[in-house]
Amino acid sequence: MISMALNAAQARQIYRQLQEHRHETYSVDITLGKNAVLRDFCVFKDIMRPERMTSLRLARFLWENPKLYADHVAIDVGTGSGLQGIAMARGGARYAILSDISQKAVANAKENIERCSVGGIAEAIESDLFQNISLKARLIVFNHPFFPASPKHLPRVAISMLDDGGLIKRFLEDSKRYLADGGNIIMPFFHLAGEVNDPKIQGEAHGYKVEEVYSAIETETTQAGRISINRLTL
């Protein structure tokens, strides 16, 4: 049962996303840009499909903007299958840390690190946000849960879609200790989800300057509607 904290349109969207993610383990080619394709990218069962969600737009944005992380440490929080972190490793990061609280997601990311031949640059670790991370980063990326509800009593993949607002607040406070001088946070958002997990609203409430650096009306993926990518700085 989908939480009553969602309005009708949000509940319908979550239902569509849950249906879309009833998949077995599969592989897919993911295009990041011209002459940049991640071949046989693997998505485990119970892991969010990156090519059908905002993850795809975010990975392409990172690929197209290597100045944000090139020759520096980058952290991909809540990495899932590892797409964002691997895009940065391929795009010139000195070292990319791919973290996730899910053991299965970490295993999936490790598989894709090997498939994408970035083992000397990228590392996947199990971590609750920054719990097991000791380095500061020039860029922190977080493709966080957008919709304001609890994932309890729903399929495991719902943890990537739903949070009551506590996670983004904890992330924004903890990030202040892990951003290198002059560093940036990049966070996407699907605006149907409302204000509770909106990086612009919550980022400004936690003392960040927030700039929307990308906006589009998505028509090709499961998250059809207005999406944006935000840059947060202290």
pLDDT at residue number 166:
97
Confidence label for 59 from pLDDT (cuts 50, 70 and 90): very high
Is 179 domain-assigned?
Answer: yes
Confidence label for 187 from pLDDT (cuts 50, 70 and 90): very high
Confidence label for 2 from pLDDT (cuts 50, 70 and 90): low
From 38, 74, 75, 35, select the one nearest 56 (Cα to Cα): 38
> Which residue blocks in the chain are alpha helix, DSSP H?
8-20, 54-64, 83-91, 103-115, 166-175, 199-205
What are the backbone angles phi and psi of residue 49, rounded to the nearest 5°? Answer: -75, 105
The β-bridge relationship of strands 73-77 and 179-190 is: unpaired
pLDDT at residue number 18:
96
Q: How far apart are CA 146 and CA 219, in angstroms?
A: 18
| 74: containing domain | 8-233
Count of domains for the chain? 1
pLDDT at residue number 223:
96
Residue 3 has pLDDT above 70, yes or no: no
- Nearest-Å Rg of the Cα atoms of the chain is 16
Confidence label for 7 from pLDDT (cuts 50, 70 and 90): very high
Average pLDDT, the chain: 96
Is 39 domain-assigned?
Answer: yes
Is 2 domain-assigned?
Answer: no
Is 1 domain-assigned?
Answer: no
Confidence label for 120 from pLDDT (cuts 50, 70 and 90): very high
Is 84 domain-assigned?
Answer: yes
Q: What is the pLDDT of residues 203-220, one digit of tens each?
A: 999 999 999 999 999 998
Query: CA 156, 227, 199, 202: dihedral to nearest 10 degrees?
Result: -100
pLDDT at residue number 231:
98
Is 119 domain-assigned?
Answer: yes
The structure tokens listed for 192 are 């149907």
Residue 4 has pLDDT above 90, yes or no: no
Give the CATH number, domain containing residue 93: 3.40.50.150
pLDDT at residue number 131:
97
pLDDT at residue number 5:
84
- pTM, whole model, 2 decimals? 0.96
Q: What is the pLDDT of residues 72-106, one digit of tens each?
A: 999 999 999 999 999 999 999 999 999 999 999 99
pLDDT at residue number 220:
87
Is 3 domain-assigned?
Answer: no
Q: How far apart are CA 17 and CA 56, in angstroms?
A: 15
Q: What is the pLDDT of residues 125-174, one digit of tens each?
A: 999 999 999 999 999 999 999 999 999 989 999 999 999 999 999 999 99
Summarize the confidence of residues 52-69 as an average pLDDT.
97
